[in-house]
Amino acid sequence: MKTAFWIIGICLPLWGMAQDASQIDEKAFKASMKETREANLELSEDDFVNAEAKYRRAISRSAENATAPYNLGNAYYEKEDFNEAFGRFKEAGEKAGEKPNKHKAYHNMGNVFMQNKDYGKAVEAYKEALRNNPADEETRYNLALAKELLKKEQEEQKNDQNEDDQQDQDQDKQEEQNQDDQDQNEGGDQEQEDQQEQPNQDEGESEKEENKEGDGEEKEEKDQKPNPSEEDSKKPPRPNQLSPQQIENLLEAMENEEKKVKEKIDAMKVKGAKKKNEKDW
């Protein structure tokens, strides 16, 4: 079975990585390629430190050398330093003048994205690699694998989102249910309070009715009370108040006294009366 990630050869054909000789500094380019071959030899002997240093010197000597950054990218990839590897593969893809070399650079960029589980970018990198070499089956296989993993990831994200939405809905329903229960409890408490207050109101109404009945009884008692004038006549005289008999005796005494006075006056009138003189005619 084919491995998921296919690293294409550690060295690219040197002749395919250079630009047109008329457009480059041949001396600098030849020196850069010499450093690249020495770095390849150091890397084959597992001397990564010296190989890395020579690749870097080769890159600095000539901007047209795409082999050095590509091979250095492979060296970083083997060390699982994927960030450094990606930067060197990208540099090689930008410098490469031939489509086969661009294809190899983008293929390995796709491999880096797969290692980082960035399947969307891996798909785009593999597509770019196939544009430069549609016949490469390894790239096509990796592209199909990246698409499958991307689809699975998107479905998982969708499921997670649906679960989150469902949890939110359940939480909202639970909060609504709790609120309904609380409202019902408050309604029951209010009803109970109303029922407790109702007897008090009934008692108040009963008390009012009793008061009314009492008022009726008082009225009847008032109606049954004797006339004050009759009652006063039966009562004994209060101090400093004459009885009817005393008043009658007093009036009779006054009349007798008036009679005596009148008789005295009349006697005086008779006794003191002057005789009229008769005239002589």
In CATH, what number is assigned to the domain containing residue 87?
1.25.40.10
pLDDT at residue 213, rounded to an integer: 55
pLDDT at residue 11, rounded to an integer: 34
pLDDT at residue 25, rounded to an integer: 82
Quick count: other Cβ atoms within 10 Å of Cβ 140? 15
Give the residues of the chain that fall short of pLDDT 70.
1-24, 188-191, 194-242, 267-281
Q: Please, are residues 99 and 70 in contact by the beta-carbon 8 Å criterion?
A: no
pLDDT at residue 94, rounded to an integer: 93
Q: Is residue 231 part of a domain?
A: no
Q: Residue ranges of the alpha helices (H) in the chain? A: 14-17, 26-44, 48-61, 67-78, 82-95, 99-115, 119-132, 137-224, 228-234, 244-271
The CA distance from 281 to 260, in Å, is 43
Q: Is residue 42 part of a domain?
A: yes
Q: Is residue 116 part of a domain?
A: yes
Counted domains in the chain:
1
Q: Is residue 102 part of a domain?
A: yes
pLDDT at residue 175, rounded to an integer: 86
Q: Is residue 88 part of a domain?
A: yes
Q: Is residue 2 part of a domain?
A: no
Q: Is residue 188 part of a domain?
A: no
Range of the domain at 41: 14-142
Structure tokens at 43: 């890397």
Q: Is residue 103 part of a domain?
A: yes
